[in-house]
Chain A
Amino acid sequence: MIAATTQAKVTRQRTVAYLGLSVLGACIGILFLTPLWWTFVNSLRPGSDTFRYLNPLEWETFFTATPSLDNYAALLRSDLGLATLNSIIVSGITVVVGLAICSMAAFALAAIPFRGSGIVFVAVVVSFLIPFDAIAIPLANLFRDWNLQNTYAGLILPGLGNGMAIFLLRTFFLAIPKDLVEAGRLDGLGWWGIFRRIYLPLSAPSLIGAGLTLFLFQWQSYVWPLLNGTDSQHILGPIALSNMQGQFNVDYGVMFAGSMVLTLIPLAIIIAFQRYFIQSVSTTGLK
């Protein structure tokens, strides 16, 4: 009898906690969504209506009965179309080449037991933590001398080596048991074989995580493309958008549409890969 009532009490407590956590989680989630949702809704109506429904707040602040894609069509005629394409090219190449470079470095630091590997790890990661944006000004001067200003190579190169990606990959690589390396060696694999056949296949989630890091670094970069030349051929999305905001006569509708495009492209990629990112290699690779 007593056992039954305590059981009921525990169950009731659980239900209350479940409901409370659900409501709290929902409120915070909606709060985070609000600015983006408002941007989205405003990208679907004329710029002259941006401030129409703000005082007081009403349902039309966050919804529109007459959505139109006119702003997106206008976007295609502006500089932002080409700028977005440039961002895609630059970020895509960065992810592919950068993952190769970073995973090789992380493998050397995690799996090869060479003398002084601990010191090299600290040196590599700390040097990469030399804040890139801070040294962007001296580097921009160097790139001018090397004729890399206003080139794709000039935009891509700084994003290839990424300390965060190396740090992340090494952390995951360390969790791969050394027994697998031994087994690989018994099967006659060299170090490259161990890297390609054992470490990389086990590391898909961490590679996706590191790839996202590389992608976001490049897609979101602002200081570097601002300094390394912004001719109309090589201008990147964020710079073009900020130029638009600085103009005297801002069409808020078009500006919000541009913001949505620059957000939806990385968003689609992140949503597609989020579950890989959250899984860790130690649980997926070893069970």
Chain B
Amino acid sequence: MSQTTDRRPAAEGRAAPTRPARRRRPAPLIAVAAAFLAPAFISLLVLRIAPAAVALWDSLYRHSFLQGGTVFVGIENYTDLFDNVDFKNALLVTLVFSLVVNPLQISAAFLLAVLYTRKAAGAKIWRSLVVLPIAVPPAVSAVVWSVIYRPDGLGNSFLSLLGLPAQPFLTSPQQSLASIMVLLSWIGVGYWMLFLIAGINDVPTELYEAASIDGASAWRKLWSVTLPLVRRPLAFVLVADTVSNFLIFAPVQILTKGGPSGSTNLLMYDIYTRAYTLGDLSKAQAEVIILVLLTLVIVAVQFRLLRSSDAA
């Protein structure tokens, strides 16, 4: 924070008054910036803001059979949703899912990043094997794990090798969500690990040497040197991972269809069934708005956390 405020006034001061003799008058900075931002801004407006606005608009109306056409109903679609058992269940499932899967994936990614940046035989090779599954699209991963999770599949073969009884995995309400978390972590952890490895490689080795001379243990170095210095990539990973986990759809649609008994009915899938299976577009749009708001709140909170940790 302090770095940017130091830099900016100096740059502005230099750009404008000290160099009057130029062939062309330089365009005002804001116009230059606007030109650079224009393509991104247009795609933002048309492909993100416009559909969100349409969803908001539609969520305030409802199709009426009596009056023929749509009528304004205010927030009735929202209040109906919060009375709806399926929606409340989807909200709860999504919350539990997020609270478990995000800390799990991020700490696994961080610990693996630390492990694979240490000197060890074949570290680069083993690291590549962890990164490998990021190439697997979620839909493909779901298709592969659908076979692994079958009663006669690879999952139960491994359990019997360890002397454990066969498990139902996807057909059990207690295990289905965890099963989906495992397949998502298989493809996710390596991806987030790459960002953290980049951050760890940025930490100057002198800092570790200094810490070693001071007699710091390996854990102390991890906690006091590595962790604070990879704050920036860690914050990025935290935001991006949380948002992407809010949008899980393919594994649910391919593997469980939200079941058994709603145990994997994440918000995205609930919206999809509401819009296309139940055909209730207005309530689906209201649910879209709720999901968008939830995500933005999380992003805002995490930006604030990032900023306060920057100031510290």
Contacts and interface: CB of A to CB of B under 8 A. Distances in A.
Contact of B202 (A128, A185, A242, A283): A283
A245 B143 CA distance: 7
A135 B236 contact: no
Nearest to A51: B152
Nearest to A25: B126
Contacts of A264: 135
A129 B295 contact: yes
Contacts of A107: 36
Interface residues of A, number: 103
Contacts of A262: 136-137, 140
Interface stretch (B85-93, B98-106, B153-161): B153-161
B295 A105 contact: no
B222 interface: no
Interface stretch (A1-9, A68-76, A136-144): A136-144
A238 interface: yes
Given A191-B32, A239-B139, A138 B133 contact: no
Contact of B121 (A22, A54, A271): A22
A30, A35, A54, A134 interface centre (most CB from chain B within 10 Å): A134
Is the contact region of chain B dominated by helix, strand, or loop, or is it mixed?
helix
Contact of A178 (B11, B138, B145): B11
B198 A280 contact: yes
A21 B120 contact: yes
Is the contact region of chain A dominated by helix, strand, or loop, or is it mixed?
helix
Contacts of A178: 7, 11
A47 to B, nearest CB: 11
Nearest to A221: B137
B120 A18 contact: yes
A248 interface: no
A259 B194 CA distance: 23
Contacts of B180: none
A244 B41 CA distance: 39
A252 B284 CA distance: 36
B29 A114 contact: yes
Contacts of B119: 18, 21
A207 interface: no
B216 interface: no
A127 B58 contact: no
Interface of B: 7-8, 11-12, 14-15, 19, 26, 29-30, 32-34, 36-37, 39-41, 43-44, 47-52, 54-55, 58, 112, 115-116, 118-123, 125-140, 142-148, 150, 152-154, 156-158, 160-161, 186, 190, 194, 197-199, 201-202, 232, 236, 239-240, 243, 246-247, 249-250, 253-254, 268, 271-272, 275, 284-285, 288, 291-292, 295-296, 299-300, 303
A216 B84 CA distance: 36
A61 interface: yes
Contacts of A114: 29-30, 32-33
Contacts of B152: 51, 54-55
A239 B139 CA distance: 8
Contacts of B190: 32
Contact of A168 (B138, B157, B236, B292): B236
B138 A222 contact: yes
B129 A138 contact: no
Given A131-B295, A274-B194, 18 more contacts: A22-B122, A28-B115, A29-B125, A29-B129, A35-B148, A36-B136, A105-B40, A108-B36, A109-B37, A122-B303, A128-B44, A135-B55, A137-B284, A138-B58, A161-B43, A245-B146, A262-B140, A280-B199
A124 B37 contact: yes
B29 A112 contact: yes
B36 A129 contact: no
A263 B137 contact: yes
A273 to B, nearest CB: 11
- Among all A-B residue pairs, the 7 with the closest Cβ atoms: A29-B126, A238-B139, A29-B129, A108-B36, A161-B43, A105-B40, A267-B135
A137 B288 contact: yes
Contacts of A158: 47
